């Protein structure tokens, strides 16, 4: 080997590269542990609407390290445990500041007895002012169906708009049948999606509503139960009606 210049050059290049790598690793360790680059400020951009600033400050306790060593992943993970916080963006700003921006949940519906669903169709847990929470529609369904309920709810709102009704309750049963309750007193049995989507049944009912249900007298506060699980019509039951 010693009389082979090519091999000697290769070995020398390898040793030089290894030394450079070790030097860089040592320099990085010194940089990460250096007190010369402290984080002097953690700046929260924007004013949270729901998330509590005290909880945010508590979540940041114990996140250590200098400007280069601070774990931004840990910052995001801790803050995303705070109620109302959906997503966190954290970044370094030279020479000594960490900037944090929060995306909060937007409450879209109630979920069952105690949970909430955000505008992305994701479940979350948070406290909310009782009156504001009561104004949200109620979703109920199997675990994991929140996104589908949110998507269908938007369709149902559009379809019911011509008859000035709005869903206040959307239910997906364990058998995957859809049920609606509206603020105007309609309980609508849509059934399951099959060859005909439930939206088509609802659209057909809305088209027939002015010449059918709208013409019938309605007792004050009486709810009307409409069954749309028929191919060419619907059944109606009104509380308090007698034959």
Please report whether residue 6 resides in a domain.
no
146 and 72 fall within a common domain: no
Q: Is there a single domain that holds both residue 119 and residue 212?
A: yes
Cα(201)–Cα(204) distance, integer angstroms: 5
pLDDT of residue 194: 85
Same domain, 115 and 203: yes
Q: How many domains does the chain have?
A: 2
pTM for the model stands at 0.80
For residues 132 and 225, state if they share a domain: yes
Residue indicated by tokens 């049944």: 201
Closest by CA to 43, choosing from 100, 103, 122, is: 100
> The CATH number of the domain where 169 resides is what?
3.40.50.11690
- Do the domain assignments include residue 4? no
Give yes or no: residues 146 and 50 share one domain: no
For residues 76 and 192, state if they share a domain. Answer: no
- Do residue 138 and residue 97 come from a single domain? no
| CATH number of the domain encompassing residue 52 | 3.10.20.310
pLDDT of 14 reads 54
The contacts of residue 157 (CB under 8 Å, 6+ apart) are: 166, 167
pLDDT confidence of residue 149: 97
Q: Sort strands 123-124 and 115-118 into parallel, antiparallel or unpaired.
A: antiparallel
Q: Which residues of the chain have pLDDT under 70?
A: 1-37, 62, 64, 219-221, 239-243
List, as one string, the DSSP characters of 120-153.
TS-EE-----HHHHHTSPEEE-STT-HHHHHHHH
**CA separation for the pair 61, 2 (Å, rounded):** 59
Query: Last residue of a domain, which of 79, 104, 129?
Result: 104
User: How much is the pLDDT for 218?
Assistant: 72
Which residue among 56, 78, 104 closes a domain?
104
Sign of CA dihedral 121, 124, 128, 134: positive
Four-point Cα dihedral 121, 125, 131, 132, nearest 10: -40
Distance CA 86, CA 79 (A): 9
Domain boundary among the residues 63, 83, 104 is at 104
Cα 116 from Cα 111, distance rounded (Å): 5
Domain assignment present for 9 = no
State the burial class of residue 27 (Cβ atoms within 10 Å of its Cβ: 0-12, 13-18, 19+): exposed
User: In this structure, are 133 and 231 located in the same domain?
Assistant: yes
Which structure tokens are listed for 32?
């990460």
- Could you tell me if residue 17 is inside a domain? no
Write the pLDDT tens digit of every residue in 95-149.
Answer: 888 899 999 999 999 998 889 999 999 999 999 999 999 999 999 999 999 999 9
Decide if 5 is inside a domain: no
Is 30 contained in some domain? no
Which residue carries 């191919």 as its tokens?
A: 231
Residue whose token pair is 């601070």: 70
Same domain, 135 and 87: no
Q: Is 19 contained in some domain?
A: no
Do 184 and 230 fall into the same domain? Answer: yes
pLDDT at residue number 23: 42
Whether 80 is in a domain gets the answer: yes
- Alpha helices for 190-237 (secondary structure H): 198-208
d(CA 207, CA 210): 7
- Whether residues 62 and 135 share a domain: the answer is no
Q: Verify that 233 and 120 share a domain, yes or no.
A: yes
- Quote the CA–CA distance of 243 and 200 in Å, as a whole number: 31
- Residue (of 35, 44, 54, 120) closest to 89 by Cα position: 44
- Domain range for 60 is 41-104
- Counting Cα atoms < 13 Å in the Cβ hemisphere of 204 gives 16
């Amino acid at each position: 080997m010693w009389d082979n210049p090519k091999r000697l050059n290769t070995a020398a290049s390898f040793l030089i590269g290894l030394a450079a790598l070790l030097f860089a690793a040592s320099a990085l360790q010194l940089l990460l542990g250096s007190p010369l680059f402290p984080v002097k400020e953690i700046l929260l951009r924007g004013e949270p609407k729901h998330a509590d600033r005290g909880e945010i400050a508590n979540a940041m306790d114990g996140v250590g390290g200098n400007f280069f060593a601070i774990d931004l992943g840990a910052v995001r993970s801790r803050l995303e445990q705070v109620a109302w916080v959906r997503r966190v963006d954290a970044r370094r700003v030279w020479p000594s500041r960490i900037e944090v921006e929060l995306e909060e949940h937007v409450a879209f519906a109630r979920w069952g007895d105690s949970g909430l669903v955000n505008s992305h169709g994701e479940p979350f847990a948070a406290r909310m002012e009782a009156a504001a929470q009561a104004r949200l529609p109620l979703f109920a369904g199997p675990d994991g169906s929140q996104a589908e309920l949110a998507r269908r709810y938007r369709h149902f709102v559009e379809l019911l708009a011509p008859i000035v009704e709005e869903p206040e309750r959307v239910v997906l049963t364990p058998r995957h049948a859809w049920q609606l309750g509206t603020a105007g007193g309609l309980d609508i049995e849509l059934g399951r999606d099959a060859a005909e989507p439930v939206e088509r049944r609802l659209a057909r009912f809305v088209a027939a509503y002015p010449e059918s249900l709208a013409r019938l007298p309605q007792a004050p506060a009486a709810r009307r139960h409409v069954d749309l699980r028929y191919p060419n019509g619907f059944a109606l039951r009104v509380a308090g009606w007698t034959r």
